[in-house]
C-alpha cells in the first residue's frame, strides 16, 4: 500500500505492475474507434498536441522499445467521505493517482526509456496547440493509452484481471483506477517507479 498525504486525509492506494513485450499490447489497439469516441465525447479533442487526432497509434509510438511495464493504480473511494459530491470524490482520487504515477515515471526515464502517461500531456499550463504554436517540449511530451488507441478496459482485464469501474450519476464505484506504462529496450527488472511512489507523499 502507498499513501498520499492530502490536506484533508491520508489516502491509501495500491499499484500493480506487469511487464510484457510491447507487441503484446497491440491486440488492444483500435485507433479509429477511440479517436471517434474522443471526438464525440471529449473537450480536448483537437486542442492538445497529445490528443487525437494528433496522437500516433500505439504501434508506431512504441516501435523503438521492446518491453513495457504496465502500472495500474487503484484507490478505494470510501476514503473520501469528507467530500460531499460523488463525482468530486472520483475527480480527487484520479488527481492523486495521476500526479503521482506521472511524476514517478518522469523521474525514472532515461535515454533507453519513455513513458505512457495517464491522460493528456500536462507539461505546460496551457498546451501550445490552443494558440497555434508548435509543441514546447517535443522530446518530452507523451500520450495516454487511450490517445494511442488502446482499449484500456480490455488491457486491465487481461493483464491484471481487474476491471475499470466508472462513475455514473447515482452510482459511486468501490474504487477508481489509472493506468500508465514505462517503455524499455530491455527486460531488466526495475523497481525505481515503486520506490519513487513510496517516497512521494
Ligand atoms: S509539452 Fe506543452 S505544448 Fe507540448 S503537448 Fe505537452 S502541453 Fe502541449
51 C-beta closer than 6 A to ligand 1: no
Q: Which three cell numbers stand for residue 53?
A: 487526432
**Long-range contacts made by residues 9-14, C-beta under 8 angstroms, separation at least 24?**
9/79, 9/80, 9/82, 11/75, 11/79, 11/80, 11/93, 11/96, 12/75, 12/76, 12/79, 13/73, 13/74, 13/75, 13/96, 13/97, 14/73, 14/74
Q: Whose CA is nearest to atom 5 of ligand 1?
A: 49
pTM above 0.85, yes or no: yes
Q: Are 77 and 92 in contact (CB under 8 A)?
A: no
CA distance linking residue 82 with residue 107, whole number of Å:
32
Name which of 18-27, 31-40, 182-191 the model is least confident about: 182-191
36 C-beta closer than 6 A to ligand 1: no
Q: Which atom of ligand 1 is nearest to the CA of 126?
A: 7
Average pLDDT, the chain: 94
Q: Which three cell numbers stand for residue 117?
A: 502517461
Indicate the SS3 state at residue 160: helix
> Residue 169's pLDDT band (boundaries 50, 70, 90)?
confident
User: Cα(133) to centroid of ligand 1, in Å?
Assistant: 10
CA distance linking residue 184 with residue 33, whole number of Å:
27
H and E: helices and strands count for the chain? 5, 5
Q: Which atom of ligand 1 is nearest to the CA of 121?
A: 6
Amino acid at each position: 500500500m502507498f499513501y498520499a498525504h492530502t490536506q484533508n486525509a491520508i489516502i491509501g492506494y495500491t499499484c500493480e505492475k506487469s511487464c510484457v513485450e510491447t507487441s503484446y499490447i497491440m491486440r488492444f489497439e483500435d485507433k479509429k474507434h477511440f479517436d471517434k469516441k474522443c471526438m464525440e465525447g471529449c473537450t480536448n479533442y483537437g486542442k492538445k498536441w497529445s490528443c487525437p487526432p494528433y496522437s500516433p497509434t500505439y504501434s508506431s509510438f512504441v516501435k523503438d522499445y521492446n518491453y513495457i511495464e504496465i502500472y495500474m493504480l487503484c484507490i478505494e473511494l470510501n476514503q473520501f467521505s469528507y467530500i460531499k459530491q460523488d463525482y468530486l470524490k472520483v475527480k480527487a482520487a484520479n488527481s492523486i493517482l495521476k500526479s503521482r504515477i506521472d511524476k514517478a515515471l518522469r523521474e525514472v526515464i532515461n535515454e533507453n526509456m519513455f513513458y505512457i502517461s495517464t491522460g493528456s500531456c500536462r507539461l505546460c499550463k496551457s498546451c501550445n496547440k490552443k494558440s497555434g504554436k508548435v509543441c514546447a517540449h517535443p522530446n518530452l511530451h507523451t500520450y495516454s493509452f487511450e490517445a494511442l488507441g488502446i482499449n484500456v478496459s480490455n488491457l486491465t482485464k487481461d493483464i491484471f484481471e481487474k476491471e475499470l469501474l466508472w462513475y455514473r450519476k447515482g452510482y459511486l464505484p468501490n474504487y477508481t483506477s489509472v493506468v500508465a506504462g514505462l517503455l524499455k529496450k530491455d527486460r531488466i527488472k526495475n523497481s525505481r517507479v515503486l520506490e519513487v511512489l513510496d517516497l512521494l507523499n
